[in-house]
Amino acid sequence: MTLLERIIASNKEVEAIRRELEKASNYFNVPYAEMVEYYNVMKPKSAEKFIEGWIATLIGGQKILTKDVPEELKKNDVGDIWVGDALKIGINNIELKSTFRDTDTLGGGQFRFYDPVPWYLLFKVIDNQQYELFLLSKNELITEIVNRANSTGFSAYQSSQGSGVINKLTEEQKIQRLYENVQGKQADKIGWNFNTRTEPELYQHFKDKYKIDAKNVNAKVNLA
């Protein structure tokens, strides 16, 4: 078999596997190592929905479905997961940010701090056997963003939309605009992360203060 023939055969097999994985909910309770393999073969959008469901199952929660969101909030992004007895927007809804490809990164893109999301769950893949979960309230995450900006030479955050007014702001202006987003006066899509390898002290701080076992997420969210 030629190289081209092998590539064609491989592509056909990948497509066949992806079709089998289209019903992602069938795999929400598979072991972590198995989940990683499924995730890596899925198309990006399918993989994103899959990991939301897998982590929701992991922490004993549910994916947020459009039908469960009050009509007046359907235009908002109210997060990906909820934990507890019933969905209570502003209390137990959680935005998930996951890191798979770049295992040295913690954080994410498309933070919409103007939306009624009280909790952020950061999921970090270490390898195909280990992962870490970090749970922060909105206020905690905002505080960490500001503290890092004030204590390092790194930018407070970037625009997830690429170019635009945010990337032209000074650090002081960015911090002010960050608070304006929380207050609902601005509506920016913000990207924020840090490198756990080059900023080991910050990484250790996150592990000491925010790292959480999956089984403890529900209690922390609903007893806050």
156 vs 145: CA distance, rounded Å:
6
Q: How many angstroms separate the CA atoms of 79 and 87, rounded?
A: 11
Cα–Cα distance for residue pair 55/131, rounded to 1 Å: 11
Residue 207 CA, distance from chain mean position:
17
Contact 149, 175 (CB under 8 A): yes
Which pairs with CB-CB distance under 8 Å and at least 24 residues apart come from 151-156?
152/199, 154/194, 156/192
Tokens 């549910």 locate to 62
pLDDT digits (tens, 9 = 90+) for 163-189: 578 888 999 999 999 999 999 999 999
Q: Which tokens in the block code for residue 138? A: 């909105």
Note down pLDDT in tens along the chain; length 224 residues.
Answer: 898 888 888 888 888 888 877 788 889 999 999 999 999 888 888 899 999 999 999 999 999 998 888 888 888 889 999 999 999 999 999 999 998 877 899 999 999 999 999 999 999 999 989 999 999 999 999 999 999 999 998 999 998 876 578 888 999 999 999 999 999 999 999 999 999 999 999 999 999 999 999 999 999 999 86
pLDDT value of residue 6: 84
pLDDT of 224 reads 63
pLDDT value of position 200: 97
Write the DSSP string, 29-63. Answer: TS-HHHHHHHHHHS-HHHHHHHHHHHHHHHTT-EE
State the pTM of this model.
0.91
Predicted local confidence at residue 162, as pLDDT: 61
pLDDT for the residue 163: 56
3-state DSSP helix/strand/coil % of the chain, to nearest 5: 45, 20, 35
pLDDT at residue number 73: 86
User: 216 φ, ψ to 5°?
Assistant: -100, -5
Q: Residue 193 forms beta bridges with which residues?
A: 107
